[in-house]
Structure 1
């Protein structure tokens, strides 16, 4: 990208690169053994409408520099939003002052130079949306109006929102690595309230994508939000017992997220993970296959390098249920006596292979049990794997939804839940970094009436 004006940014990529090089040179001059720096800029617009009236119009234009310096094995970090030469030099000085008072840490330091990325493929992540605020307002109104028109029992609205954001950054370190990054993220959402008698239910729908052309139509989003809220009216509890449970795709991604958290370096070296000593062992049911693909075009977690500049790699993360790798950055890898996996900053796109058809097929496979569409609370113990969440959804009999369900708790242990996965749907949610369809679990405890 050579023109900041055309892209909507205030700075060009060469200008950001120059700032990175300036900081690295200054850190060396001030005595740092090594240094890394990340310079970033973000521009965004957010418009919300409620009951047809404009509720908020927000613009944001942010920039910042994060500087980490090392004095041997001592580390200091400081940041600033001032790009002036004087402010950058003072920020380097502040980071060095912190490092001087920090205890030595054998695991501290930059990534191994041989692991740094040298190739930067175009992953098609940058699609600015030229959206005047008047058009954004009209889009939000259309979305909310479609939701309110679904049924006369739609009694209220929490509004519809249209957001657009672009961001760019340049990361560099004193090994000579300089890596650019530029991306966009756009979304449309609606949240709706339905009422029948004294009973009220709320639900929502949203679409998010790198390119506005990939977003669902605003009317479709609104209609789905309204239909989901109406479907929840008449919800009741079910009897306590053990049942089959089908996770909606949006919630199934959360199950995969629990695995990521437990398989990440920080949890592992602190011995705060239920997956300790699970590498190379069957963590999931044999039907589960997961690929990590950092190079997915327009992916929400795509990148050619991680937060330390380490080259990302595509890998078979889970094969026939067996966990083949951790998620490590350089620090956690050193603590564990291992090598970085290129996951400083988190996991990349996780693609879970389906074993069945769409939602109708998954409901048939569920037979009789609970279809969960909402989870409440944070009842997950990352150390033991114990899992207990408030839930809402639908009771299913003979593969057909019978009635909505609320005020229940579903519980189990993630070790067993993972092993009890019996089917994965092809109704894949493409909106996040974990691309997975609905997940059917053979048995969980449900506390209800």
Structure 2
């Protein structure tokens, strides 16, 4: 099995690291297969298949560390990786916070099958992915598109991680996706929008025709867009983009930003950062969700945790090193690649849903902006000042009046995150489940 081969490679890396003089080490082996088919203007634009195995080795010597990576799995390369990593570590500065987990901290006895991260059905061939793309394209063209770009994609990744502290584990995950971008109109009046779906298991994907139909429906709704009025108005972030607001909160609560002193949430532990009744929960072990994982990038067991409870910030997102810097325990949130050291990051996120539908919030907001697309980003990490380009729909008297584009919304995250109202339209299959969010008052710059 592929996972057995990856395990052998990580063990070989650790043996080589010890032979080269490392005090401790961890190794990561990743094997990935990806197949993509792209259709543009009715023609096959690209068919691509990739297969690769990548190795990463981190060595630690007296508080000094170094990482090397390679895509060659030969014994000679493994030996050279270890020698190079040890030589690099000996020249690196001492970091008192670096180091592997203690044996007692490590994940044990997980059952990867319960997470259902890998579809065991046969890998689709190129013809099946092309059929998906063409079905999405046909639905969009039938709906009135002047041009369509459609894609089908499949990926399978297996990884194994081992370390000299005794950790030894791995798993595999799969994904299959269909997407379509539909273009409507002509000249400077041309508009476009898209739709796409991704699932761990192929049988869970919705029909390709429904994806193409939604792309053209969204694109046609944007025809005739104009700039909105300038002023202070309520703003409704559609479910498609609402997760970015919670993403800014999570970035500010990341241990790396806190340790650097570059976060607008500094000193906010135990304080109100969201409205009462609103919570942010991380659950890395949701079943059949692509971002789920039984252990983190340092071998610690993942677990459900509350980041914000009833609007109150409960804690930072930490790996071992940032936890040590802040005098706290790791929250088992380390992620890493073959060429990068561990760093803290979240996985599956849930924001408490509200009781109202999106239509209810549109009705209740009176006059304002419904945002369906965001462009660019200017967020000051120290102050929370927020400014983004946006497009969507102008709402008057509780009803969508016309599409808008070329506008900017601005405010301060510390202020307007306290004024959120959540809808109930988060999609259950997503890793980050955030419903549409209404902000009671932001600055709009339009015409």
Q: How does 1:104-115 map to 2 (within 5 A)?
A: 104-115=94-105
Q: Is the 8 A contact 1:119 1:304 kept in 2?
A: no
Q: How does 1:38-437 map to 2 (within 5 A)?
A: 38-121=28-111, 122=113, 123-128=115-120, 130-151=123-144, 154-157=145-148, 159-195=149-185, 198-345=188-335, 346-421=345-420, 423-430=421-428, 432-437=430-435
**Moved >6 Å (runs of 4+):** none
Partner of 1:7: none
SS in 2 for 1:204: strand
Q: Is the 8 A contact 2:235 2:441 kept in 1?
A: yes
Q: Is the 8 A contact 2:286 2:348 kept in 1?
A: yes
TM-score using structure 1 length: 0.94
Deviation at 1:359, TM superposition (A): 2.2
2: distance between equivalents of 1:199 and 1:112? 61
- Structure 2: segments with no counterpart, 5+ residues: 336-344
Deviation at 1:361, TM superposition (A): 2.2
SS in 1 for 2:7: helix
Deviation at 1:320, TM superposition (A): 0.9
> Deviation digits for residues 18-65 of structure 1, max 9, x if unmatched?
221222122122211100000110001000111221110000101111
2: distance between equivalents of 1:112 and 1:330? 10
CA change 1:260–1:112 in 2 (3 A) is: farther
SS in 2 for 1:14: helix
Q: Which moved more, 1:284-293 or 1:240-249?
A: 284-293
2: distance between equivalents of 1:311 and 1:160? 39
SS in 2 for 1:317: strand
2: distance between equivalents of 1:429 and 1:441? 20
CA change 1:72–1:432 in 2 (3 A) is: farther
Give aligned pairs, total.
435
Deviation at 1:322, TM superposition (A): 0.6
2: distance between equivalents of 1:52 and 1:388? 38
> Deviation digits for residues 220-251 of structure 1, max 9, x if unmatched?
10011001010000111121111111101121
Partner of 1:446: 444
TM-score using structure 2 length: 0.95
Partner of 1:18: 8
The CA RMSD over aligned residues, in Å, is: 1.4
- Structure 1: segments with no counterpart, 5+ residues: 5-11
> Deviation digits for residues 389-427 of structure 1, max 9, x if unmatched?
011000112322111011110000111121111x21121
2: distance between equivalents of 1:336 and 1:359? 40
Q: Which moved more, 1:314-323 or 1:57-66?
A: 314-323
Deviation at 1:358, TM superposition (A): 2.8
Deviation at 1:197, TM superposition (A): 6.8
Partner of 1:9: none
1: distance between equivalents of 2:288 and 2:332? 19
1: distance between equivalents of 2:188 and 2:295? 53
